[in-house]
Amino acid sequence: MKSKHVLSASQFVFSFLFLLNLSITELKAQDLRIEPPNWWVGMQMNDIQLLVHADNISTYRPELSYKGVELTKIHKADSPNYLFIDLIIADEAQPGRFEIKFKKKGAKNQSFTYELKSRPKPAEEYFGFNHTDAVYLITPDRFANGNPENDVVESMRETEVDRTDNYARHGGDIQGIIDHLDYVADMGFTSIWSSPLLTNDMKSSSYHGYAITDFYEVDPRFGDLELYKKLSKQASEKGIGLIMDMVANHCGSGHWWMQDLPFKDWLNFQKLYEEGKSIPNSNHKRSTNQDPYASKHDSKLNNQGWFVSTMPDLNQNNPVLAQYIIQNSIWWVETLQLHGIRQDTYPYPDKAFMSDWAGAIMKEYPNFNIVGEEWTTDQVLVSYWQEGQHNKDGYDSNLRSVMDFPMQMKIVQALNEGNEGWGNGLTKIYEGLANDFNYPEPKDIMIFMDNHDMDRVFTQLNENVQKTKMALGLILTLPRTPQVYYGTEILMENSDQRGDHGLIRTDFPGGWNGDTVNAFTGENLTPEQLDFQSFLKALLNFRKTSSALQDGKMIHFAPFDGIYAIFRIHKDETTVAFLNTNSKTTTIDLSRFDELELSGKSFTEVIEGTDLLWKEQIDLKPGFTLYSHLTELK
């Protein structure tokens, strides 16, 4: 009599085949994730590191055979579900596909088809945005809904679309931006900076994009990778470059790796996170990056504290993570043929890493550009981050552009306060510009009057149209790289709820079917909105062709009697911008400008087209006026 524990021959064979089948299908039955998903031949960065993620992938051994590609090292992580594979791509490597095989004793070999692509264009042809551009900042969920069918993706954590809720998704998408590229171009903008379009699979407030949960995937509620490429291509065809908003400091708490972190030091304060304990937030003391007296305690909290609890702080001191972030940024530049990068929360990550990150990108694309967000109103602190600054600590950021929060603040203060008293009013702008000696290259600094994180400029200026024209006119005539926030051109405001980020990022009228107001066509805009839109359009389009505003030497005269004059001079062109903060037309004596030798020259007012002969005096209406003189070439 057989024991019930003894298998028959047929049972044994069946069991063996069953177990063998389980082993064979161990990788096949699950997702095998490899990042970056492809690379290119002929790159400066030809030594790349592939992240491989699958259950127990560390028990497999990867192999490949492709001419010009060498697998040099295999790194195992703390988690058994990761491998990191170092590849060197030789100069002689050709575009093509090859198999990366994963072998395991007693299991069937598995493979992943990897592709090396041809580069879309040579590296030197990736030209970044610069001071000749005017940048249009868009929050895509709130700009235009080009495809209502992707508003809800049931597989994601947040599925509600509610335009009455400032913090819910409203349905704007990539197709909406594509549909209105003509509007952007006609307004006179030459670059689009969109807040992040990558997947934000978060439970709430996923619309803003800054809590990324997959660094290689376009959020399906915005579209897909092919649509993102289409946006870049069609924008470029209309003379508009695409700037990508990137986040190196943190990810979203819903990121796919948060349930299976590769290493024990992938995050800052990771042990507290894994133990379910409270994690310190950043102290936001960004000056610790420059402060010679800063304590280690304060520096650590700035660089390692989490931005918010839903945005885990990444540890860029982990060399594998550092490589991952750098490769990811270069992958997007190459994939989308980007015109630039805007890097979020620039002073929060490890600053040595940020120098390496920017340096790697600029080495790959020597004519490219990156702007970093440093939200401080101190020009000295901002200038520390610009490439070419001779910092006492020897730090070189490799960062060409920084955002001009100091001048933004000074302009608002100057226009909101009177000119009485020493240093008040327009003098704040005058003295702020005198401090441009702090910057290695002032024209590369990105100036703006509002953005997605602060009150609308029309609200900041107490809904005063004249002051708002002066503010926008000024930033478009200074030696800077100007950025304008979507909706500023139609005086969008958030005055009833100042500081409400959801309202600051409100819907652009006309971007949704059924909108009764359409800012794209002008339908049902108020006379004030139409006038301001026309004002900005005229100024932006003039700037596109003005060598004086783009490259001219600047000379300004100290404010007097509520008047401020700024001249830009380049070869045969001279422009002069007047700010008149008085409530009435003011007559001024032009003799104070005699050093410029303009007497007898004819000028044309840019916005209204009226002519002026430069003589003894001029009558200036309140607000902003821009005159241009162009010498006729013989």
Residue 630 tokens read as 């162009």
Nearest to 188, CA basis, from 510, 575, 606 = 606
pLDDT in tens, 187-216: 999 999 999 999 999 999 999 999 999 999
What DSSP assignment string belongs to 212-227? -SEEEEE-TTT--HHH
What DSSP assignment string belongs to 363-409? HH-TT--EEE----S-HHHHHTTSTT---TT-------EEB-HHHHH
Spatial neighbors of 521 by CB under 8 A, at least 6 apart, are: 510
The answer to whether 310 touches 213, Cβ cutoff 8 Å, is no
Residue 120 tokens read as 């879309």
Residue 131 tokens read as 């001071």
Question: If you ran DSSP here, which 8-state letter would residue 545 be given?
Answer: H
Hey, where are the domains in the chain?
Answer: 11-119, 135-259+315-547, 548-630
Burial of 152 from C-beta contacts in 10 A (0-12 / 13-18 / 19+): middle
135-259+315-547 and 548-630 agree in CATH topology = no
- Is-catalytic flag, 91? no
Residue found by looking up tokens 């920084």 in the block? 402
Nearest to 220, CA basis, from 199, 248, 241 = 199
- What is the pLDDT at residue 501? 96
| Torsion over CA: 474, 480, 485, 487 (sign) | positive
Spatial neighbors of 242 by CB under 8 A, at least 6 apart, are: 191, 192, 194, 231, 232, 235, 236, 336, 337, 338, 339, 340
- What is the pLDDT at residue 622? 97
141, 245, 344, 404: which is the annotated catalytic residue? 344
Q: Which helix (H) or strand (E) holds 565?
A: strand 563-570
Distance from chain centroid for Cα 224: 19
pLDDT in tens, 31-59: 799 999 999 999 999 999 999 999 999 99
Classify strands 401-402 and 553-560 as parallel, antiparallel or unpaired.
Answer: unpaired
- Is-catalytic flag, 350? no
Residue 335 tokens read as 């994939």
Q: Which helix (H) or strand (E) holds 458?
A: helix 457-460
Q: Which CATH superfamily is domain 135-259+315-547 in?
A: Glycosidases (3.20.20.80)
- What is the pLDDT at residue 13? 40
Residue 132 tokens read as 């000749």
Residue 502 tokens read as 């959801």
Residue found by looking up tokens 């704040």 in the block? 428
| Torsion over CA: 234, 237, 240, 244 (sign) | positive
What DSSP assignment string belongs to 73-126? EEEE-SSTTEEEEEEEE-TT--SEEEEEEEE-TTS--EEEEEEEE--SS-GGG-
d(CA 606, CA 529): 19
116 - beta bridge partners? Answer: 39, 96
d(CA 342, CA 334): 16
Residue 578 tokens read as 């007047």
- CATH for the 11-119 domain, from 2.60.40.10, 3.30.460.30, 1.10.3720.10, 2.60.40.1180: 2.60.40.10
Residue 544 tokens read as 């596109």
User: Order of strands across the sheet with 623-630?
Assistant: 553-560, 563-570, 573-580, 623-630, 602-605, 611-613
Spatial neighbors of 594 by CB under 8 A, at least 6 apart, are: none
- What is the pLDDT at residue 632? 62
- What is the pLDDT at residue 1? 38
Question: If you ran DSSP here, which 8-state letter would residue 248 be given?
Answer: -
- What is the pLDDT at residue 5? 41
133, 313, 350, 373: which is the annotated catalytic residue? 373
Spatial neighbors of 622 by CB under 8 A, at least 6 apart, are: 466, 580, 581, 582, 583, 584, 585, 586
Question: If you ran DSSP here, which 8-state letter would residue 42 be given?
Answer: S
| CATH 2.60.40.2700 describes domain 548-630 | no
Q: Quickly list H helices, 524-612.
A: 527-545, 547-551
What DSSP assignment string belongs to 133-180? --EEEE-GGGT--S-GGGS--TTSS---B-TTSTTSB----HHHHHHT
Residues of the chain with pLDDT under 50: 1-30, 633-634
Rounded to the nearest 5 percent, the helix, strand and coil shares of the chain are 30, 25, 45
Helix (H, G, I), strand (E, B) or coil at 592: helix
